[in-house]
Amino acid sequence: MKALRIASIALVMILTLATATVFATGQRDVAAVDEVVRDGTGPSWAWDTSPVTLSMYVHEGWYNKQWDVESTLLDRYVTDKTGVKLEITTPAGEGAERLNAMIAAGDLPDIVTIGWYEEQFPLLQASGMLHPLEQLVDQYAPTFWNIIPETMRLWYTYDDGHWYGFPGFFWAPEHITEETFLETNQGMIARQDIMDDLGIVPEDFTTQDRMIEALRKVRDAQIEYNGQRVTPVNLGNLATSWHSVMTNFPDFFAVPREDSDGNLIDRRYHPKFLEAMQFINRMYREGFISRDNFTMQRTHVEEWISSGRVFLAIVNIADYKTPMNNLYEFDNDAKMVPVGPVLAQDGARPYFSPRAFAGWTVSMVSRNARRPDRVIRFFEYAYSEEGQQELQHGVPGTTFNMVDGRVQYTEEFLAEQERDAAAAWARHGANNFWWFYNPPYQQSIEAPPEPPALGYNMDRYFGQYSFPDMAWANIDPPGGTEEAIIRGEASVFWEEQIPWMIMADSAAEVERIWRAALEELDARGWQKVLAYQNERFQENKERLNLEFAWPPNQR
């Protein structure tokens, strides 16, 4: 793990050098005075709609959108409306080399969009390479304050008192209503047709013993579908993610996150985490989980679900809505429905982490930007009700209309989807620019599909268990610190122990491996990491005015 330490230290050095470059070269802080339109009517973004090209770096290797005013209806519409054309670039794969190189050269684009959890975010905030957003709003987009949630600004205010990152997927408490449900990635979904054939009901998945009996029926039936044997359980892409093991099951089993004194708990140390591991091991020893599952990438899981080879999927449900819908389109009887969730032996109510409650990515304005006025005004458009409707749903009158305050897709667009859904979405350009997404508002305008889509049902079903988890956001130590190095090494070690626990030959062996792994974590200095995380956890609770954060609304 020396390489990890060297890489972290190198990033700090890169940003230090880059900061020196910023101040040495005297990058401009404001747009040329004669270019800025200082006032107008309506929202600030409408004051100046002259053509402008803004460069934008999105730190997501999978993101392949290019702004295309020639062939994409929405891109043309937004550019005509705001004057803005985006030049979007992304990294190659998942690596951070491109971002680090841009930082080292002091060559950031106008807009930088990265995950708030990336180590470059706090370092960029400290570097002097970014415009404080509150200053840009004051100077160029005063009407933007009318729609910015105060909670968002306060939560993302940096240690120096400035606000640098505008988040997407931020669940502002000011926007949450009684009708709002917090979407979550946690869940269990099962084939309705197989359940009906074998006399299984969704409630069978709420207790461990009943769930085991239900899965035995599937195993013993030796079901084949389209010439392939159906596996009773799939835990997702275990080759690259232990989401089910480290997030789903601890949430199902209500493993505590905070002790009676208000201190952060590392859930792996709690006896109920052992109970969860022993239950997963029990499913493996019963033959419900295929050994193939341990080497599966996400594409493999998608293929298995799409082809009907999975009875019960305990996965990140947001990742697999497309394959489950593909299966349903192929065979309307092969519908996957929400079940469970399975509970701990004490029957405690589960609490799920919501989907990106504190945000997913943050968009920043670099001091390289020649037109920071147009950048912050584009942010205003994107977060406005108009922007939210259009960037997510397409061109008004062509792709959708607002009917009684709800989105209603046009007959033309729906007909295009019937012919070729992928081509229709690509031509209209909707739902492909998420960096300013406002989840509560989107819920308020999206009409329930007719008939209700599978993903819609699942989000509502599992949303009943979600709770605000902002107190746990951004508590990990920054790169280059001793705690960060311990965390990186310990995480690799822990992931090596998980398959041994799952595949152990007895519940007693699971406990032996678990206890030995925790002793090794302590020997590696894990308590230093936990102490750091607890300090940040307490700071978060103070910012949120919470004495206790878990379980929610119980103290």
Residues 225 and 331: their CA atoms lie apart, in Å, by 11
Q: Which range has the top average pLDDT, 34-38, 117-121, 408-412? A: 408-412
CA 68 → CA 74, 324, 357, 426, distances in Å? Answer: 9, 31, 31, 11
CB 29 within 8 A of CB 133: no
Q: Do domains 2-177+359-445 and 189-355+451-470 have the same CATH topology?
A: yes
Hey, what CATH topology would domain 189-355+451-470 get? Answer: D-Maltodextrin-Binding Protein; domain 2 (3.40.190)
Residue 59 half-sphere exposure toward CB, CA atoms < 13 A: 27
Nearest to 435 by CA among 44, 46, 58: 58
- Strand partners of residue 114: 362
Residues 392 and 474: their CA atoms lie apart, in Å, by 28
Nearest to 342 by CA among 235, 438, 419, 472: 235
Return the pLDDT at 477: 92
Helix/strand number for the chain, H first, E second = 21, 13
List the domain boundaries for the chain: 2-177+359-445, 189-355+451-470, 475-543
| CB atoms near residue 291 (< 10 Å) | 8
Q: How many residues are given for the chain? A: 555
Residues 256 and 120: their CA atoms lie apart, in Å, by 31
Mean pLDDT score across all residues of the chain: 90
Residues 547 and 117: their CA atoms lie apart, in Å, by 24
Inform me whether the pLDDT recorded for 358 exceeds 60: yes
Return the pLDDT at 355: 82
Residues 160-195 as b or e (16 or more Cβ within 10 Å = b): eeebbbbbbbbbbeebeeeeebbbbbbbbbbbbbbb
For 39-69, write each residue's pLDDT tens digit: 899 999 999 999 999 999 999 988 999 999 9
Average pLDDT over residues 151-179: 91
For 207-252, write each residue's pLDDT tens digit: 999 999 999 999 999 999 999 999 999 999 998 889 889 999 999 9
Return the pLDDT at 9: 44
Residue 340 half-sphere exposure toward CB, CA atoms < 13 A: 30
Residues 388 and 472: their CA atoms lie apart, in Å, by 28
Q: Which residue has the higher pLDDT, 35 or 297?
A: 297
Inform me whether the pLDDT recorded for 26 exceeds 50: no
Residues 395 and 431: their CA atoms lie apart, in Å, by 11
Residues 252 and 222: their CA atoms lie apart, in Å, by 28
Cβ-Cβ contacts under 8 Å for 515 (sequence gap 6 or more): none
For 430-482, write each residue's pLDDT tens digit: 999 999 999 999 999 987 765 555 555 788 899 999 988 989 988 999 878 99
Residues 60 and 249: their CA atoms lie apart, in Å, by 28
Over the Cα atoms of the chain, what is R_g? 25
Return the pLDDT at 500: 97
CA 49 → CA 85, 147, 450, 481, distances in Å? Answer: 11, 20, 38, 46
Nearest to 130 by CA among 380, 346, 366: 366
Return the pLDDT at 270: 97
- Just give the CATH number of 2-177+359-445: 3.40.190.10
* CA dihedral sign of residues 149, 360, 59, 155: positive
Residues 195 and 532: their CA atoms lie apart, in Å, by 47
Residues 535 and 47: their CA atoms lie apart, in Å, by 45
Inform me whether the pLDDT recorded for 6 exceeds 60: no
- pLDDT band at 91; cut points 50, 70, 90: very high
Return the pLDDT at 1: 41
Residue 475 one-letter amino acid: I
Return the pLDDT at 449: 65
